[in-house]
Amino acid sequence: MITSQETRRCHLDTLQLAHTIINTIVDKKGSNIILLDVREQSIFAEYFILCNGENSRQLKALAEYIRQDAKDAGMIKMHKVEGNAESGWILVDVNGVIVHIFAPDKRTFYNLEELWNESQIILRIQ
């Protein structure tokens, strides 16, 4: 049986992971960063991070740095990457934090902020 203390620790670990990922995105010049708490709306993730990269090279680099920095911090137990830089949208799923890395036009087109508008915005960095 999982205790409330274990649940709280797991949540804090996932939030810490989200902040580690955001620091990586900021360091690598990703832009328009939003951290959404999707725990009430989703059974497959606790947090979504949305960010922009300016070109396919930056999209690919952001995905690689996110994966590597989470691994180096000892926070990666499993991860999955979907999409590719040429499509304009890469999804990196790391332990309950799903990172959406977009080209600006694809982000506008898919408009995930509106789709997940019932989620609480925890952080926004323009």
Maximum distance among all Cα pairs of the chain, rounded to whole angstroms? 47
Closest CA to 47 of 125, 124, 119, 126: 119
User: Could you tell me the mean pLDDT of each successive run of 10 residues in the chain, 126 residues long?
Assistant: 45 82 96 97 94 96 91 73 95 93 97 94 94
What homologous superfamily is domain 4-125 in, according to CATH? Answer: Beta Polymerase, domain 2 (3.30.460.10)
Alpha-helix runs per DSSP H in the chain: 4-27, 56-72, 104-110, 112-115
Annotated domain spans of the chain: 4-125
> What pTM value is reported for the model?
0.87
Looking at residue 12, its pLDDT comes to: 52
pLDDT of residue 7: 40
Confidence (pLDDT) at 6: 43
